[in-house]
Amino acid sequence: MPLSEGDVGGLMSGWQGGVRWIYAFTDEEALARFAVQRGAGAGAREWEYLSILGARLVDAVIPTVEGPTGVAVDVADEDGSMLFPPVLGIVPEAYAVDAGPDRAEAV
């Protein structure tokens, strides 16, 4: 997972549809493709990243982030990208946007 630039620090993420999406990659090559799409080329800065298991990201990191948060995996790969939204079965129940008192009636 790439680290954010600047003084703020943290994991690189984006916003779409009211959800923060933490960028995650399955290998260094997928991260490199993402960097190129973001304008990195020859002589560009080195991208710092953190290696973390997906389960740890979902169970330990997402609960520390304010607001709905999902995981976007390999987003530079047209055919191989995956989105894991902040819903039951993906993130802990306390952080799932579809958890709550109205859920029983909707199911």
pLDDT per position as a tens digit, 35-92: 888 877 666 677 888 899 999 999 999 999 999 999 999 999 988 899 999 999 999 9
Per-residue pLDDT band for 3 (boundaries 50, 70, 90) equals confident
DSSP bridge pairs for 91 = 88
Q: Which amino acid, residue 58?
A: V
What pLDDT does residue 10 have? 87
> How many whole angstroms separate alpha carbon 71 and alpha carbon 15?
11
Q: Is 61 exposed, middle or buried (CB count within 10 Å of its CB: 0-12, 13-18, 19+)?
A: middle
pTM (predicted TM-score): 0.82
